Amino acid sequence: MAKFIIFSCNFPLIFLLSSFYFLTLQPISSSSLKSLNNNPNFDSEIALFGDAEPVDAGSYVNITRPSVSSSGLLLRQKPFKFLDANLSSPTSFSTEFTFSMTPGSGDGLLLVLASKDFGSTFSGKGPFGLNGENRFLGIEFDTEMNGNVNDLNANHIGVDVGSFVSLTVGNVSSLNLELNSGEKLKSWIDYVASSKRLEIRLSKLGEPRPYNPITAYGIDLLGMWKNEDVYVGISSSNSNGNSSQISSVYSWSFRLRNIPNSMHSLPVNPRGYLDEHGEHLSVHKRRVCPLTVLAGMIFVTGCGALVAFMVLFLWAIIISRHTVFPAEFPVKPVDFRYEKINVVVEKDADSVKM
């Protein structure tokens, strides 16, 4: 009886401790963040892990905190396949997101694709919290200079495959932009499976989508993952001892596209296609550049002048072949010889009658 009383007295405490333990094992998912679900700037499948938390009633997300060893992850919980039996061609994707990073040193921001649900194993240790993950594709928005991993400077975008050694690098400074200025920036990342080409674009928020990518890389993601499930997320971390950078994401959309193999056009805005649910997305209108119009007018005028010159040239040749000119003979001087002729008249006497 005494043992039962002791157990009943400790039961509420055991229940609370057990509940707290199981809650700490569960990731912070978007299903429990109603304010984030109601934000049209984010897809509904997004879940939050680590230090990632909604700010300002869910209007945006801070992935990291201004503290050392802070890391967070936004994960799209719905996986996809590059080789889908229901599609006639390999899967392509387009994604765009708006972000900012406060001044200071930090690992930056990483868009990552991996073949397993790395959100469930997100440890928050190592760069971008991907400790032990060696099969991934990462597009790194780096604000730290590290020559050991082919960093160009402390303001670049790199493409990483399986490690953080960048295979190709784009200089953000060439766009007159700074990743960790605190300014809101927008990035477009497109992959076309038919051409096996990955392109990354970047601009200030509110500016049109750039025509030329800041960097591009050829990679066969279908050969890398075949028909495996692939997850995509946005991660950030402060792994340095003196890092206090805050990485924020204000919008994020991810769309799958199915492009026939016969089409090898460059990636375009993901909102100009049908998404995987068959919903039509608005087309982004490209502004007309005055210099392009002027160059076109000059080109057309030059072509017109060239055609007119060729017509006149051919006309002159034809006319010259059919025109008959009168023959001209040379005029030579003629010498005349003058002779003196003496005329003698003789009278016949017999012919005169008297």
Structural domain includes residue 328: no
- Is residue 65 within 8 Å of residue 51, measured between CB atoms? yes
Q: Is residue 153 part of a domain?
A: yes
Structural domain for 182, as ranges: 42-255
For residue 59, the domain's CATH number is 2.60.120.200
Whether residue 1 is contained in a domain is answered as: no
For residue 80 the two structure tokens come to: 């996809």
Q: What is the DSSP letter of 28?
A: B
Q: How far apart are alpha carbons 208 and 304 in whole angstroms?
A: 34
**In one letter, which amino acid is 1?**
M
Residue 29 lies in a domain: no
Q: Are strands 109-114 and 91-101 parallel, antiparallel or unpaired?
A: unpaired
d(CA 2, CA 8) in angstroms, rounded, equals 10
Instruction: Assess if residue 289 is contained within a domain.
Output: no
Residue 132 lies in a domain: yes
**Angle made by CA atoms 303, 309, 311, in degrees to the nearest 5:** 105
pTM of the model: 0.64
Among residues 73, 53, 54, 175, the alpha carbon closest in space to that of 124 is found at 73
- Enclosing H/E stretch for 294: helix 290-322
- Establish if 157 belongs to a structural domain: yes
Question: What is the Cα–Cα distance from 13 to 19, expressed in whole angstroms?
Answer: 10
Q: How many CB atoms lie within 10 A of CB 309?
A: 10
* Residue 294 identity: L
Residue with the two structure tokens 């005169």: 352
Domain count, the chain: 1
Averaged pLDDT, groups of 10, the chain, 354 residues long: 44 46 40 55 86 88 86 90 80 95 87 81 72 82 83 89 90 94 96 95 96 95 91 87 84 85 48 38 50 87 89 82 57 59 59 47
Provide the token pair at 327: 């023959």
Integer CA distances (angstroms), 272 to 46, 216, 336, in order:
22, 21, 101
Please report the pLDDT score of residue 152 as a whole number. 83
Q: Cα separation of 52 and 73, whole Å?
A: 6
Count the Cβ atoms, other than its own, within 10 Å of residue 217.
Answer: 21
Phi, then psi, of 326 in degrees rounded to 5 = -65, 145
Residue 302 lies inside a defined structural domain of this protein = no
The pLDDT value recorded for residue 276 is 38
Length of the chain measured in residues: 354
